[in-house]
Amino acid sequence: MTSSSLLSVRVQAMRFEAQGIVSVELRPAGGGDLPAFEAGSHIDLHLANGIVRSYSLSNSPDECHRYVVGVLNDRKSRGGSRYVHEQLRVGAMISISAPRNNFALDESAAHSVLIAGGIGITPISCMFGRLRALDKSAELFYCARSRSEAAFADRLLQQAGASAHFDDERGAPPDLRSYLAGKPKDAHFYCCGPTPMLNAFESICEELGLLNVHIERFAAEKVEAVQSGSYVAELARSKQSITVPAGKSLLDALLDAGIAVDHSCREGVCGACETKVLEGEPEHRDGVLSKSERASGKTMMVCVSGCKGARLVLDV
């Protein structure tokens, strides 16, 4: 992502929300409004230590004067969340991306089922609030290891349609199968949380024949981001053909060839580098696309994904 496309914001406030979780309120450096966003959107924070991380917006889309993100101090932090918790301070100026949405909310659904695991509550709380503001039928199931680690719980659990499962109080993890069984088949189902929870959610939804299923991953699954063999990427609009050698990412090959590609996280989770595929079969390694989107083969995240065959044709 080029510096010209970034937004300059000030850290207006930081608030303790739960054990290991702070919210960060960002306002435009020069006053006025920030770009509008939809429920489920996220932004990239470009931190002073050179790290870029994506965080979901938790505040109402009606609040264009500010963005609010929730940040968990990840025990396995590679520098992003640790920097936010230990070094970021109120008044600091940082750069952010405009909002992107890989987790869009269908506001026309007859009923919506929202499931959050831990810090996954950040986009889910925004979506639940949006549906309630629209007077839409919705329910929220908030799962966390303990009540003390559940951000926004006091506010959310006072609202109609919201329930929770705290492992330490129940003595066991949540039973997603029992929760989902019997839900209306035409409802839309959303889940954001840790990878094991998302994998279980997708599997259970498939078993139950639930079709309108949406997930948001905070991290791509651990797979090798480059491949052992080379392949050719043909660029339909640029009229170029690029060989992607073994051990090199498609994104780096494109950038080295002078092709301008929007990108940010380089980890397959932010969605900035999503590129249309016209021919060929991508080797998906991202954490953004759903199973059906991967199966269609029509789009890919070029920062981590590659090619199953010898050739890809991209709309670049």
Q: In the chain, what are the domain boundaries?
A: 3-96, 112-216, 231-314
Homologous superfamily (CATH) for 231-314 = Beta-grasp domain (3.10.20.30)
**Structure confidence at residue 1 (pLDDT):** 46
Question: How would residue 265 be classed by pLDDT, with cut points 50, 70 and 90?
Answer: confident
Question: How would residue 308 be classed by pLDDT, with cut points 50, 70 and 90?
Answer: very high
Give the residue with greater pLDDT, 68 vs 78.
68
**Structure confidence at residue 215 (pLDDT):** 93
Please list the alpha-helical segments (H only) found in the chain: 80-86, 121-133, 153-156, 167-170, 176-180, 195-208, 250-256, 291-296
Q: Which CATH number fits domain 3-96: 2.40.30.10, 2.40.50.100, 1.20.1260.10, 3.65.10.10?
A: 2.40.30.10
Question: How would residue 224 be classed by pLDDT, with cut points 50, 70 and 90?
Answer: low
- Report the pLDDT averaged over residues 267-273: 87
The answer on pLDDT for 38 being more than 80 is yes
How confident is the model over 2-37, as pLDDT tens digits? 445 899 999 999 999 999 999 999 999 998 999 999
15's tokens: 């608030």
Q: Which residues contact 7 (CB under 8 A, 6 or more apart)?
A: 28, 34, 35, 95, 96, 97, 98
**Structure confidence at residue 2 (pLDDT):** 47
Kind and range of the H or E run holding 67: strand 67-72
17's tokens: 């929300």
Question: How would residue 175 be classed by pLDDT, with cut points 50, 70 and 90?
Answer: very high
The answer on pLDDT for 243 being more than 90 is yes
- Cβ distance 21 to 72 under 8 Å? yes
How confident is the model over 124-139, as pLDDT tens digits? 999 999 999 999 999 9
Nearest by Cα to 115 from 80, 163, 79: 163
Distance CA 240, CA 246 (A): 19
42's tokens: 């996220």
Q: Which CATH number fits domain 112-216: 3.40.50.300, 3.20.20.450, 3.40.50.80, 3.40.1160.10?
A: 3.40.50.80
- Cβ distance 161 to 139 under 8 Å? yes
- Cβ distance 204 to 177 under 8 Å? yes
Kind and range of the H or E run holding 9: strand 7-18
Domain 231-314 in the same topology as domain 112-216: no
Distance CA 227, CA 216 (A): 25
- Cβ distance 205 to 190 under 8 Å? no
- Cβ distance 177 to 157 under 8 Å? no
Using a 10 angstrom Cβ sphere, with 0-12 exposed, 13-18 middle and 19 or more buried, the burial of residue 33 is exposed
Distance CA 229, CA 266 (A): 20
Give the residue with greater pLDDT, 64 vs 49.
64
Question: How would residue 75 be classed by pLDDT, with cut points 50, 70 and 90?
Answer: confident
